[in-house]
Homo-oligomer: A and B are copies of this chain.
Amino acid sequence: MRKLINDPADFVDQMLTGIELAHPGRLRRPGDEAGAIVRADADFAGRVTIATGGGSGHLPLFLGYVGPGLADGCAVGQVFASPSTDQMLAVTRAIHGGRGVLYVYGNYSGDRMNFELAADLARAEGIEVETAVAADDVASAPADRAQSRRGIAGIYFAYRVAGAAAATGADLPRVAAAARSAIARTRSMGVALAPCVLPAVGHANFDIPAGTIEVGMGIHGEPGVGREELRDADAVVDDLVDRLLADAPADAGDQVAVLVNGLGATCLEELYIVYRRVHERLAAAGLDVAHRSVGEYATSLEMAGASISLLFLDDELAGLVTAPASSPLVLVP
């Protein structure tokens, strides 16, 4: 294990302490609740607020999307494990400003179970809750079962759209509808070149032999569409872009937002080499890139690899996804 950590049992708590110490005035823990962070720089009153959460090990996902124009609070579990219902409920109470809370999270059974129960408990306290579940990974299920797809890096667009919609003063049904529209129009897929090691395990749970890639592997190492020989970056990108475009929504227009995301150990130079090819391919397909983000936005610890996400824009989403937003942990251009 080649990690700068202490006792693996302290991994999440010490990471959270570091985040709190590094961002005073911007982030705070809500009360005594462990594993939860809310904005310290926000007034929640009078607008819809956004809660998110998921397993640790994906920074800047999920904690890094707590900030202006993004989410207002976040609950995180242990590495690759869902936070609890109590954590999510504590976040919900802390950020509720009187106009309801939108839950935005990825489509994993543990998260669904805990966050659905948290929503029920919040409603019982009089807090209106709606949910938008990210399910953007086209490798995880075919288009006719799109609702069973896993959520991966494309949730980034859902945060931006939800946060921007909430900032307009829209009511909860409208903010939820905007976030769901972003999710319904986002397609992602990635490749993994080397596995990651969970701190508590100490060795990789699976191997990716050098010279091969796992096409469509999930951000916890879930199986993708197959193992292939590693080819040139352009050939890998072409394959991913072909699959994303083939899966485009029926009413896709000619504008897209693009996210080229690094999984942890793939350097920024490679991500720009990938972006270059994505951009060229989209231009050749008659698509205009209205927004792009390139960097590490949803990682799998130190996994090597990258994913590409496309948000097929309509007029409403084009405005929302480029609205001003900022995070203490990651560049939000």
- Which A residues have a C-beta under 8 Å from some C-beta of B? 1-7, 11, 14-19, 21-22, 56-57, 59-60, 64, 191, 193-194, 208, 210-211, 230, 232-234, 236, 264-276, 279-280, 292, 294-296, 299, 301-302, 304-306, 327-331, 333
Contacts and interface: CB of A to CB of B under 8 A. Distances in A.
Contact of A274 (B7, B16, B18, B305): B18
A59 B266 contact: no
A117 B108 CA distance: 58
Given A4-B266, A4-B270, A232-B6, A275 B59 contact: no
A233 B276 contact: no
A125 to B, nearest CB: 32
Nearest to A235: B6
Contacts of A191: 4
Contacts of A299: 267-268
A279 B233 contact: no
Contact of A6 (B57, B234, B327): B234
Contacts of A17: 276
Given A4-B266, A276-B14, A302 B304 contact: yes
Contact of A3 (B60, B193, B302): B193
B2 A267 contact: no
Contacts of A211: 1
Nearest to A210: B2
Contact of A4 (B208, B233, B280): B233
B331 A2 contact: no
A265 B265 contact: yes
Copies in the assembly, this chain? 2
Nearest to A19: B272
Q: Is the interface of A mostly helix, strand, loop or mixed?
A: mixed
Given A21-B279, A64-B268, 6 more contacts: A4-B271, A4-B274, A15-B270, A22-B279, A57-B269, A329-B331
B275 A22 contact: yes
A105 to B, nearest CB: 19
A133 B106 CA distance: 47
A267 B6 contact: no
B194 A275 contact: no
Contact of A273 (B14, B57, B193): B14
A5 B270 contact: yes
Nearest to A330: B331
Contacts of A230: 2
15 contacts: A3-B193, A3-B266, A4-B306, A14-B276, A15-B276, A18-B274, A18-B275, A18-B294, A21-B279, A22-B292, A59-B268, A265-B304, A269-B301, A302-B304, A328-B333
A326 to B, nearest CB: 9
A294 to B, nearest CB: 5
A243 B264 CA distance: 29
